[in-house]
Amino acid sequence: MLVLTPAVLPAASTEPVVVLVDQQRREIVPVVRGEAELVPLADLLQGQPVATTPDPRGGAVTLTSGTHKVTLYDRKSLASVDGDLRLLSSNVLLDAGRWLVPVDSVPRFLGPLLGKRADWRAAQRTLLVGNASIPRLTVRTSVSGNAVRIAIEASEKVPFRVAQEQGRVTVAIPRDVVDVSLQPERLTGGIVDVVQFVGGRDNVFSISLGRRFKDLQAHEEETPPRLVLDFQALPLAAAAEPSPSPSASTAPRAPVPEQPSIRTVVIDPGHGGDDVGAKGPGGALEKDVTLAIARKVRSVVANTLGVQAFLTRDKDQEVALDERAAVANNYKADLFISIHANASRAQGVHGSEVYFLSYQASDDESRRVAALEGGEVPTSASGAAGGGAPSSDVALILWDMAQAEHLEESSSLASRIQDELAEVTGSERRGVKQAPFRVLVGAAMPAVLVEVAFISNSEEEKLLVSDAYQSRIAAAVVRGIARYQREQAHTTVGPGGRDRDKAPSGSRP
């Protein structure tokens, strides 16, 4: 039987971090340095098949598990994961012989190292590694006359704790971690105002009560496991009078979080002027195709998303690679998208590819494409482009550049655009890749390079010069942007979503 008790919400504190490794549970007390929470690496790796090798010169430690290798650097917010540098949220520290790592960045290196899924759940202060049973919670609401029903359904049996306090009802589900399908929802009728998930260690739902709220009845059901809350209303006449109940008149309303927005997009038509780019077997030029598609992307972005959109070039002119990202920075753009057409000597190669920046190409083909599209970022001490491993000094310099801050957002944007393009191009989903594209370096916002199709393929060349096909490509790119925008609105506003002054519409830096 459910009992209504005074609600106690989780307090903000440096409480232990829960670590679930293949459903084995333990707690680690973090170390606070400034605003960062760090956990001892030795505690994190306890019981895992990981060899730890400190650099004899100090300043680095290498972790090895099977064929995977991770290197962490003292006082740097970087991890080398199988040769690929990844940005961490704060510096790794070597403190009195202990290596300390930012807890929220652990999945970025520990998952690949162990070959397992890894996830940090900030709301529950829980680090998941490997297989874990995670209840999924779905909230359904219905408003009918003088009643509101809210049902919280779980994918497996979970404990529900219901509490009523001034102006709201809370439901806590004391599990280490849950998945919740709910966006803050406002209800009509004045009985319940807002339903939202506020999280915390006990996974708390908050239900703000309206001026017509009278009483609540709650019960659990077993098949499927769910909690049903029935809210009853005061008569309309009574609700119109000032309520003597402090719960209806003085309780603060739970705010619905504002969503970050994308306000400015810069689209970069690849090549131009004497730089014609790739040439198709029928004579089509990459510089012409990219400009036509970029103009359509600009139009669709402005008309369907209602945001400002600018081109790095709006005619057949040459623009230096370094100037293209500078245009996006001057506009204070939220996204930078460089449009290109691919080429290959291989017969029958087709489909779209989307890239984001890395100091090291994900494969030889990606390195070739980076060179084809105007040159790679130099990856050796001598400054030569092409194969070979980059020196550690050059790699660290590159990752101190502006684009490193937006790695995850760029990856997410690339993935969403590629998903949409693959539906149009009918490709075998060539996928999202990384390469050292010079045009993306220095972009101070999420940035991607889109290879819309292979102009070297005679069939795709015919499509690329078609106005109808160009429109389909443009629409797919914008659908990808829209998906990215919606998903970013559901996460914490990061560097790519902060409020910044914009260039006036129609102006050029």
Q: Identify the pLDDT of residue 424.
A: 85
Residue 69 and residue 53: Cα distance in Å, rounded? 11
Q: Identify the pLDDT of residue 299.
A: 87
Q: Give pLDDT tens digits for 164-193.
A: 988 899 999 988 788 887 777 888 888 999
- β-pairing, 204-209 vs 126-129, is unpaired
Triad 268, 270, 276: Cα angle to 5°:
150
The DSSP code sequence of 426-462 is T-----EEEE-BGGGTT-SS-EEEEEEEETTSHHHHH
Residue 390 and residue 249: Cα distance in Å, rounded? 65
Q: Identify the pLDDT of residue 388.
A: 39
Q: Please check whether residue 176 is in contact with residue 124, taking contact to mean a CB–CB distance below 8 angstroms.
A: yes
Q: Identify the pLDDT of residue 432.
A: 82
100 DSSP β-pair partners: 40, 93
Whether a cis peptide bond, with omega within 30° of 0, leads into 255 is no
List alpha helices for 301-345, DSSP H.
Answer: 321-330
Residue 159: alpha-carbon gap to chain centroid: 31
Q: Which residues of the chain, if any, have pLDDT below 50?
A: 1-13, 241-260, 361-363, 366-367, 369-371, 373, 376-396, 398-400, 492-509
pTM of the model: 0.47
Triad 275, 341, 295: Cα angle to 5°:
85
Q: Give pLDDT tens digits for 391-430.
A: 444 444 544 455 667 888 998 999 999 988 988 876 655 6
Q: Identify the pLDDT of residue 494.
A: 42
- β-pairing, 308-311 vs 84-87, is unpaired
Q: Identify the pLDDT of residue 281.
A: 94
Q: Identify the pLDDT of residue 161.
A: 93
